[in-house]
Structure 1
Amino acid sequence: MMAVLAVVALVLAGLVAGTMTVGLVAIRPAMHSLPVASYITVKQAFDISYPKFMKPLQIAALVASLALTVTSGLMGDPPAATLAGLAFLSLLVNVIVTVRGDLPINIAMASWRPEQPPADWELQRSRWDRFNAIRTAAAVVGLILLAAAVAV
C-alpha cells in the first residue's frame, strides 16, 4: 500500500509541477511575444480551460502528499514522514499562491476587452507572472521533496 501511495503522490505532484513548468518556460514566452489583443484573447481562453484540469490535480496531489505523510509517520518512518510533510507544505503553498495570487488577477483579466486593455495591463501581467513563478517553484520543490521521501 505504501508503494502505491508513493507512486500516486509522485505522479500527481509530477503532473502539477510539469504542467506548470511547461507553462512557465514554454507557453509564457510565446504568449509574451503576441500582440496585446491576441495575448488577452488567448489568456482568457486558457483561464477557462486550464482550471478544469488543474484544480482537481492540485487538490489530488495535496491529498496524496498528506496521506503519504500520515502513512509514513504511522509506519514509523520519521525521515520519510518529515520529507513528505515538507512536500505537502510546498504543495499547499502552490495552492495558496494560485488562489490568493493568480486567481484574482485571472478574474480581473476575464473582463478585459482585447481591443482596449486597461492602462496597467502590463503591470497586471507582470504580477501574474511573478505569482505563477512562485507557485511553479513551490510545485517543483514539492515534487523533489516527495521523491526524497520515497527514496529514504
Structure 2
Amino acid sequence: MLNALEIITTVTVGLMVGVEFSVAFVINPILSALPDDSNQSARSHGGRMLGAVMPVWYIGSLVLVAVWAVAGRHHAGAGLVVTAGALLILSVVMSLLLLVPINDQGKTWTAETRPADWKEQMSRWDRYHYARVAVIVAAFTLLVAALA
C-alpha cells in the first residue's frame, strides 16, 4: 500500500512540476514573443485556467506528501519526504503571498483595461514563478530520492 502511495504522490508532484516548468520556460516565453494584445490576452486566459486548477493540484500534492510522511515515518527516506513537504508548504505560501495577488489582477485584464505597467507586473510574476519552480523541483527531487 505504501508503494502505491509513493508512486501516486511522485507522479502527481512530477506532473505538477512539469506543468509549472513548462509555463516558466516554454509557454510564457512563447507568449512574450506575441504582440502585446495577444500576449496579455493569452496570459489572462492562462491565469484564469491554471488559477482554477493549480490550487487543487498544489494542496492535493501536499496532502499526498503528508500522508506519505506519516505512513512511511519508519522507513528509509522519511526525512526526505518531510523536507519535500516543507518545500511544498513554502511553494504554497509563495503562491499565496507573491503570485496569486498578481494573477488575480492579471486574469481580469483586457486590452482596454490593463494597466500601463502590465508588462512589469507580468515580469515580476515570472521572476516569482522561477523561484517557485526551483522550490517544487527541489521537492520533487527529494521525493524521487526517497524512493531510492
TM, length-normalised to structure 1 = 0.90
Residue 116 of structure 1, CA deviation:
5.7
Q: Identity of paired residues, percent?
A: 30
Contact in 2 for aligned 1:69/1:80 (Cα 8 Å): no
Tell whether 2:80 aligns with 1:83. yes
Deviation, structure 1 residue 110: 2.9
- Equivalent of 1:138 in 130, 135, 139: 135
Root mean square deviation, CA, Å: 1.5
Residues 1:94 and 2:91 aligned together: yes
Structure 1 gaps, min length 5: none
- Which runs of 4 or more aligned residues in structure 1 lie more than 4 Å from their structure 2 counterparts after TM superposition? none
Structure 2 equivalent of residue 128 of structure 1: 125
Q: Which runs of 5+ in 2 are unaligned?
A: none
Q: 1:116 to 1:59 in 2, by over 3 A?
A: closer
Cα deviation code 1:67-87 (max 9, x no counterpart) = 1111221xx22x411100011
Give the superposition deviation at 1:43: 1.0
Which amino acid in the other structure matches residue 54 of structure 1?
Answer: M
Give the letter for the 1:126 counterpart. Answer: S
CA separation of 1:34/1:3 partners in 2, compared to 1, >3 Å: closer, same or farther? same
How many residue pairs get aligned? The number is 148
Q: Distance in 2 between matches of 1:9 and 1:89?
A: 15
Partner amino acid, structure 2, of 1:18: G
**Shift of the alpha carbon at 1:52?**
2.8
Distance in 1 separating the partners of 2:41 and 2:140 = 32
> What SS does structure 1 have at the residue aligned with 2:12?
helix
Letter in 2 for 1:105: I
In 2, the alpha carbon distance for the partners of 1:105 and 1:80 equals: 37
Q: What pairs with 1:64-83 in structure 2 (closer than 5 Å)?
A: 64-73=64-73, 76-77=74-75, 79-83=76-80
8 Å contact 1:37–1:115 — kept in the other structure? no
TM (norm. structure 2) is 0.92
